[in-house]
Structure 1
Amino acid sequence: MAKLLYRLGKWCVRRPSAVIASWVLLLGITVVLGMVFKGPISNDMSIPGTKAQDALDLLNEEFSQAAGGSVRVIFAVQDGTLADEANQQAIASALEALRQDQAVINVSDPFATGTVSQDQRIGYADVTYSSAASEVTEESKEHVLDAIEITREAGVQTELGGDVQMSELEIIGVSEIVGIVFALLVLIVTFRSFMASWMPIATALVGVGIGIMCVYYSANIFSITSTGTILAVMLGLAVGIDYALFIISRHRQQMAEGVEAKESVARANATAGSAVIFAGLTVIIALAGLSIVRIPFLTVMGLAGAFTVLIAVIVAVTLLPSVLGLAGSRLAPKQKKLKRKPAEKKTQTPFAYKWARFASRYPIPVALVVIALLVVVALPMRHMELGLPDNGSKPVYSTERKGYDLLSQGFGPGFNGPLVVVVKGSGTGDITEEATAEAAKVQQLAGVAFVSSPIPNQTGDIALLSVVPLTGPNDKATQQLVHDIRAASDKLMVTGATALNIDISERLNDAFPIFATAIVVLAFVLLTLVFRSILVPLKAIVGFLLSIFATMGAVVSIFQDGHLADVFDVANPGVILCFLPILLTGLLFGLAMDYEVFLVSRMREEFTHKGRAKEAVYDGMGLSGRVVTAAGLIMIFVFGSFIFVDDPMIKVMGFSLTAGVLIDAFLVRMTLVPAVMALLGRSAWYLPKGLAKILPNVDIEGDSIKKELEQA
């Protein structure tokens, strides 16, 4: 590995203009493909094979008129009632304007259908489209926004709900730019050089640009969610900057030791580049491993993120060496002028070196304190409740949240999560009569507020019932009601957003142990291969488990229990994003192994060259601790910038990744690892002779390059 990357670095340094031009050309081509031929971004999170999805598929096939997307227009007044003549006229005008859109097949009238609250102050109309929610055009959405201005100007509060997404997420917004700026400041402090600092940002942006544009284009083939595109941006930026940081840091260290600039680039590519390859490989495999759970939207999300990370790795070992080669010796650290005679000069010991000595001197107390702290933070995870955020999780100022609150106020909390019940006919009787009998059974179940009259399809095979629960969409009682309806009769199938979310959460819970086991086995195999040790991988796995449990505990404490909710602008604490545990396990595994590889590989390098275990811990931390600290801070700023977006799913993902990196990088890798490595001593690097013969030597420390250079 090291020899190959050394030669690749040499080749890139000799042809910098050609390599840079090739990457710029590739970026231009992908931007054209991504922007001009961009596929539709979907919000479909369905899972084929679940009971709710089976019911929805049947509905789409046999009751196509009920399968179109819809926008719910909610009207409310503070003074008077909606029945007042002026308000009725304004609502009628708005509804007539909505009907002018040719994509609309029906606009209900709240006064005709009775969808007005008992006090006559809140009502709603449903706008139904001929196409699915994800296929409703921007022109139709603009038409809705223009139409509701009629009632708003007349003094009637008008908000929106339904399953049609009325606004798209910004991929790069103000908060993300702020995160990049903070990352640049960290690089400037770390390198003490502006020239060295902008390079990781520039190369990371090239990688992210290519990655995200390819994801946009692939949306023509696969169902790509907006969450998946944001995840790809998050990871591409964070790992792209970090991988460049490690290579540049090694390059500047070597130049400070007197190595010629171009030779130093090749050596840095061989050593730090090898670590980047394996670190990136762990992230890629972890993300691609999401396909194990056989959930389509998670598989595509993982592959999109993995592809962006792959581009970041390739950029780091090809484009970056070319840029470093052009910079030449100008990147060398400036030597400080001596104010004393050389004999009187006092060298400053890096803080990371001092911290490693402290952790190694008191390994048992340090390990116990860190483990106890992580266990305490993880405790809230015991009562974690999973689900999918709905409009009730949106910011209080958003029209979706206002509409959600108005519907709860006027019709009860269950009205925001109605259940769609499909009644299958026997084929021998009248479907309306059969559905009416089934509706009576459902009405008797606990937790039911209302059951609508049945609506048969044109062929008389099935009928629809709308069931409004007494409780909200993510309440445990609603989840139980779904199971009770299914158990009440084999003729009843339950679907709708609420039932789909319940089935998705349950399927993900079942899949999590399989995925977690695969991740643990993968971690052990990869780290055994990289470090040629048994105890180091076991220690890394235990540290990873502590990190993931503590991170999920922190997420539950804030996003479910509501502690510090105002600080993080959590609009409505509730259930935790159902796919977060699986997604976070994959992501944090990859990122945790990044730090493990970069930190412990330097310890192994020192141990391999000097043979002293404790000194290897000090030197490894002293040489790489500053860089790992900077890498952790960069990821925290990049991921942390996504905490302040409006979308609740992106917010919780941004927070969980930020907390995960903070916990893993600074508590586990920078504190617990040196303490445990000091306790293990030389035994940390023990590998049975039989296994040593079988395992290939990947030479992540670059020994083969050093021997080759010494013989030359």
Structure 2
Amino acid sequence: MAMFLYRLGRFSFRHKWWVIVSWLLLGALVIALVAAFNPKFSKDFELPGTDSDKAMSIMEKDFTAVNERQLEASTSVLIAADDGLAAHTADIDGLVAKLKTLPDIFEPDTIVNPVTAADAEPAIAASVLGDKGQVGLIQVQQNIKVEDLTIEDKEQFEDILSEFRTGGLDVRGTGSLMQVQEQGGTAEMLGFVVAFVVMIVAFAALVAAFIPIITGILGVLISINLVTLGAGIFNMNESATGIITMLGIAVSIDYALFIVSRYRTELNLGGTREAAAGRAVGTAGTAVVFAGLTVVIAVVALAVVGIPFVSQMGAGAGLAVVIAVLGAITLIPALLGAFGRFAFSPRIKGLRHGDEPESRVSNGQRTAKFLTKYPLPIALVALAFLAIIATPMTKLELGLSFSSDAEVPATELLKRGFGEGVNGQLLVVLNETDGADVAGVATETIDHIKTLSNVANPDQLTWIGNGPDQANPQAGATAALIAVTPQTSPSGEQTHELMEQIREYSSTTEAAGATLNVGGQTAIMSDISAKLSSALIPYLILVVGLAFIILMVVFRSILVPLTATIGFIFSICATFGATVAIFQQGIFGLITHTQPIISFLPIFMIGVVFGLAMDYQVFLVTRMREEYVHGLSAKEAVLVGYKHGARVVASAAVIMISVFAAFMLAPDTTSKMMGFALAAAVFFDAFIIRMIVVPALLALMGDKAWWMPAWLDKIVPNVDIEGASIREIPIDDTLAPDGKPLATKAGAAS
């Protein structure tokens, strides 16, 4: 592996312009294809094999119109006045008229003044007027697919609401139009800016700081556009793009940082720049490949959960990591070749340039001496600190809601006037199997649902059929659809309980010859949460097991992978604790509107963070392994490896944290929560576990840390992560045509 990457690094350096142009052409090609085909992401959530999926399949066949409406824009407008809405009739009429001017309104006559509607039809009064006439509800349906709504549509809608939010009348919105997201860019740009500053400090040179930025931008650009092209072939959810951006930027810059840093070290040892690039890719590049492999395994393994949008997020993230690795081992040496002797210029005074004499004591060396002097108490204190932060984890509550903070005022009005479940209907589908009387089964099912708690307006429950006569669809129906509105929020535990209570009635309907399934977006979200919870432990076992094997191959040790894994458990628990404290309990007041933790966050965070944790484990500990194999004592290997690796790992972690934390600026809570959790996880794992606990434990274990049973040592492949074969190559020479070293004097890959 090391020798292959050594040759690849030299090849890319020597043929720099071909490599650079190839990458640019690839980027231009995928951008052109996206522009030509204009593929669209899906915004719906499907869950094959679940009860909700079965319900949606029946709806697609027997209730096509209702199913189509599920995919089109639906927005709720809430109006409120403390002196009663009847006192604001003129303003409400004006609001209704303006709402009808929104594009592609479905049945404009259904957009009415709730006060007028309640007076005209007392039977529907409770569904449009609440809180003693102080809160009203106007539903706006549009013949536009949710994914086709634009930011201009949202701005037009918000302008209308703002215009009539006056004179004691409060007007708020929630739903499709309010959930349109602005084009991203702010978080990414901030992440790049912070990364650039960190790399200026790390390299003390402007040109070198630009190189990882170039590869990061190009890598993410290619990844996003490739996934976008995939959306034109597969039914892909748009949520896949968010993690690609976050993870793609972070790992692209990190991997480039490791290669460029090692290149500078190799340059200081002498020889040609081409040879230095080869040695950098052969040593640090080997670590990049295996670190990237652990991340890819961690995120792609999300497919075992069996949820399409989670699998898509994992696959997209895996693609971004693969491109980042390829960029690091090919594009980086090509760029180093293009910049030549100007790569580390202009030098910035006052910063450490990396070419200082080995005798100079660095902060990393001072830290390593302290860690190895008191390893046991330091490790115990660090782990105790993480355990304390993890305490709020015991209060963890999971839910699945993608409402933004801007929708909170509207949802509060919904709760006040009608119950939070108005926009979260459960769609109960009955389908005959043995020539059953669907009408009778539907009536009995409604009577049963009326007896359940948490049902809003039970007296208004009815059913529609799929009969051939559109004027009387109940006649001759073979399927029935009942829309049940819960009183509590779609993501609430009580709504989930109501759904399960309705599903339990299926045994009764089956005895009468009809199946019963519950569908709709609320049911799908609930099923997703349940499936994620049940898959968490199997997924964790799979990922940890595969990564343990990889780390065992890399380090040829049992205890090093074991400490890496145990340390990860501490860091991930601390992250859960901090996330619960901030977003669920509202500690420090950083989040105005607290809510349960997004149900897919734990499993996805475990996948991403485990991969990243192993990144830092590989980058820091491979240097220690390298020094130990080449003759240093276990303690000395920790000292030297830490001295050379701590600065780079710390820089990489700061970049990763900055990129993730920047996503807390996003308007949607999903991005905020994911950004915070990932940033916190990297901080805990990189700075506490990898840079404090792991070196301390390695020093404490001594030679035992690198022990492996003889029988296992024989069957584990040797991937030469230490670059032993590269050390045989002369610093100032090259390889023979057959790829073998021309001489055997020791090189300097140290």
Query: TM-score by structure 1 length?
Result: 0.91
Q: Does 1:193 align with 2:205?
A: yes
Aligned to 1:469: 486
Separation of aligned partners in 2, 1:364 and 1:602: 22
Distance in 2 (CA, whole Å) between partners of 1:5 and 1:629 is 25
Query: Is the 1:614–1:678 contact (alpha carbons within 8 Å) kept by the matching residues of 2?
Result: yes
Alignment of 1:435 with 2:442, yes or no, is: yes
Report if aligned partners of 1:450, 1:467 keep a CA contact under 8 Å in 2.
no
- Give the superposition deviation at 1:141: 6.6
SS at match of 1:45: coil
Question: Which residue of the partner structure matches residue 123 of structure 1?
Answer: 136
Pair 1:55 & 2:68 matched: no
Rounded to whole Å, the distance in 2 between the matches of 1:577 and 1:378 is: 18
2:181 is matched with 168
Q: Partners of 1:257 and 1:334 in 2: how far apart?
A: 21
Shift of 1:40: 1.2
3-state SS, counterpart of residue 324 of structure 1: helix
Residues 244, 317 of structure 2: 8 Å contact kept: yes
> C-alpha displacement at 1:209, in angstroms?
0.9
Does 1:533 pair with 2:557? yes
Letter in 1 for 2:174: G
Q: Deviation of residue 500 (structure 1)?
A: 1.9
Question: Within 2, Cα distance between the matches of 1:57 and 1:105?
Answer: 29
- Higher mean alpha-carbon deviation, 451-460 vs 224-233, is at 451-460
Structure 1 180/332 Cα, relative in aligned 2: closer, same or farther at 3 Å?
Answer: closer
- For the 8 Å contact 2:206–2:344, the answer to whether it is kept is no
**1:420–1:464 contact (8 Å) kept in structure 2:** yes
Shift in Å, 1:412: 2.6
Shift in CA distance, 527/426, structure 1 to aligned 2, threshold 3 Å: closer
CA contact (8 A) 1:87 1:154 kept: no
Is 81-90 or 185-194 further displaced after alignment? 81-90
Find the counterpart in structure 1 of residue 457 from structure 2.
450
- Of 17-26 and 416-425, the range deviating more from structure 2: 416-425
Structure 2 CA distance, aligned partners of 1:24 and 1:666? 36
Measured in 2, the distance between the counterparts of 1:52 and 1:415 equals 19
| Contact in 2 for aligned 1:90/1:154 (Cα 8 Å) | no
Q: How does 1:304-703 map to 2 (within 5 A)?
A: 304-331=316-343, 347-391=359-403, 394-395=404-405, 398=406, 400-424=407-431, 431-432=438-439, 434-451=441-458, 452-459=460-467, 460-490=477-507, 491=509, 492-564=516-588, 566-567=589-590, 570-703=591-724
Q: Secondary structure at the match of 2:728?
A: helix
Tell me whether 410-419 or 310-319 shows the greater mean CA deviation. Answer: 410-419
Contact 2:30 2:225 in 1 (8 A): yes
Give distance in 2, aligned partners of 1:143 and 1:53.
35
Match of 1:33 in 2: 33
2-structure distance, mates of 1:376, 1:299? 33
TM-score, normalised relative to structure 2: 0.87
Q: 1:168 to 1:39 in 2, by over 3 A?
A: farther
**What do residues 557-615 of structure 1 show as CA deviations (whole Å, max 9, x unaligned)?**
21222213x32xx3421211111111111101110110000000000011011241100
The 10-residue stretch of structure 1 (573-582 or 596-605) with the greater mean CA deviation from structure 2: 573-582
Distance 1:88 1:427, change over 3 A: farther
Shift of residue 708, structure 1, vs aligned partner: 3.4
User: Which residue does 1:341 correspond to in 2?
Assistant: none
Q: 1:708 aligns with which of 717, 729, 750?
A: 729
CA 1:252 to 1:150, structure 2 compared with 1: closer, same or farther past 3 Å? closer
- The CA deviation at 1:406 is 1.7
Q: Indicate how the Cα distance of structure 1 residues 376 and 166 shifts in structure 2: closer, same or farther if over 3 A, else same.
A: closer
Contact 1:101-1:140 at 8 Å conserved across structures:
no
Q: Residue 208 of structure 1 is aligned with which of 212, 220, 238?
A: 220
SS at match of 1:506: helix
The answer as to whether partners of 1:106 and 1:128 remain within 8 angstroms in 2 is no
CA contact (8 A) 1:72 1:160 kept: yes
Q: CA deviation at 1:262?
A: 2.1
For residues 420 and 119 of structure 1, the distance between their equivalents in structure 2, rounded to whole angstroms, comes to 29
Distance 1:424 1:240 in 2: 52
Indicate whether 1:78 and 2:81 are aligned: yes
Contact 2:100 2:111 in 1 (8 A): no
Which one is further off, 150-159 or 262-271? Answer: 150-159
Report the Cα distance in structure 2 between the residues aligned to 1:308 and 1:266, rounded to whole angstroms: 24
Contact 2:76 2:138 in 1 (8 A): yes
Q: CA RMSD in A?
A: 2.7
Tell me the secondary structure at the aligned position of residue 40 of structure 1: coil
**Separation (CA, whole Å) in 2 of partners of 1:227 and 1:255:** 43
Q: What is the CA–CA distance in structure 1 between the aligned matches of 2:492 and 2:38, rounded to whole Å?
A: 38
Residue 184 of structure 1 pairs with residue 208 of structure 2 = no
Retained in 1: the 8 A contact 2:572–2:681?
A: yes
Match of 1:274 among 271, 286, 301: 286
Moved more, 137-146 or 39-48: 137-146
Q: Deviations over 1:384-421 (max 9, x none)?
A: 12111243xx22xx2x3332222112113343533333
Determine if contact 2:12/2:19 at 8 Å carries over to the other structure: yes
How much does 1:504 deviate?
A: 0.9
What secondary structure, in the 3-state scheme, does the structure 2 residue paired with 1:120 have? coil
Are positions 1:90 and 2:94 aligned together?
A: yes
Q: Which amino acid aligns with 2:535?
A: A
Aligned pair count reads 695
Alpha carbons of structure 1 residues 346 and 436: separation in structure 2 relative to 1, 3 Å: closer
Instruction: Give the partner amino acid of 2:304.
Output: I
2:229 is aligned with 1:217: yes
Say if 1:52 and 1:6 are closer, same or farther in 2 by CA, change over 3 A: same
- Paired residue type of 1:409: R
Amino acid at match of 1:551: T
Percent of residue pairs identical: 39
Find the partner of 2:244 among 232, 246, 259.
Answer: 232
In the alignment, the residues of structure 1 paired with residue 415 and residue 347 of structure 2 have an alpha-carbon distance, to the nearest angstrom, of 67
Q: Deviations over 1:99-123 (max 9, x none)?
A: x727669735441543122432322
CA positional deviation for 1:222:
2.2
Relative distance call for 1:266 and 1:103 in structure 2 (3 A) is farther
Cα distance in 1 for residues equivalent to 2:518 and 2:348? 73
Residues of 2 paired with 1:687 and 1:402: CA distance? 60
Residues 197 and 97 (structure 1), Cα distance of their counterparts in 2 relative to 1, 3 Å cut: closer
> What is the CA-CA distance between 1:678 and the residue it aligns to?
0.7
Asked if 2 retains the 8 angstrom alpha-carbon contact of 1:73 and 1:158, the reply is: no
Q: Which one is further off, 241-250 or 463-472? A: 463-472
Q: Which consecutive unaligned segments of at least 5 residues does structure 2 have?
A: 350-356, 468-476, 510-515, 731-742, 746-750
CA distance in 1, matches of 2:522, 2:412: 17
User: 2:610 corresponds to which letter in structure 1?
Assistant: F
8 Å contact kept, 2:399–2:492? no
Q: Report the CA distance between 1:29 and its aligned residue.
A: 1.2
Structure 1, gaps ≥5 residues long: 338-344
Question: Which residue is 2:739 aligned to?
Answer: none
2-structure distance, mates of 1:95, 1:171: 28
**Any idea what the Cα deviations from partners look like across 1:413-452, whole Å, max 9, x if unmatched?**
3435333333446876765554333222212223334223
Matches within 5 A, 1:232-271: 232-271=244-283
Match of 2:77, SS?
strand
Give the Cα separation in 2 of the matches to 1:410 and 1:336.
63
Q: Deviations over 1:106-152 (max 9, x none)?
A: 73544154312243232223334556544668897788668768856
Instruction: Report if the CA contact (8 A) 1:39-1:216 is conserved.
Output: yes
Distance 2:413 2:168 in 1: 16
Residues 650 and 137 (structure 1), Cα distance of their counterparts in 2 relative to 1, 3 Å cut: closer
Following TM superposition, by how much is the alpha carbon of 1:294 offset from its aligned partner in structure 2, in angstroms? 1.8
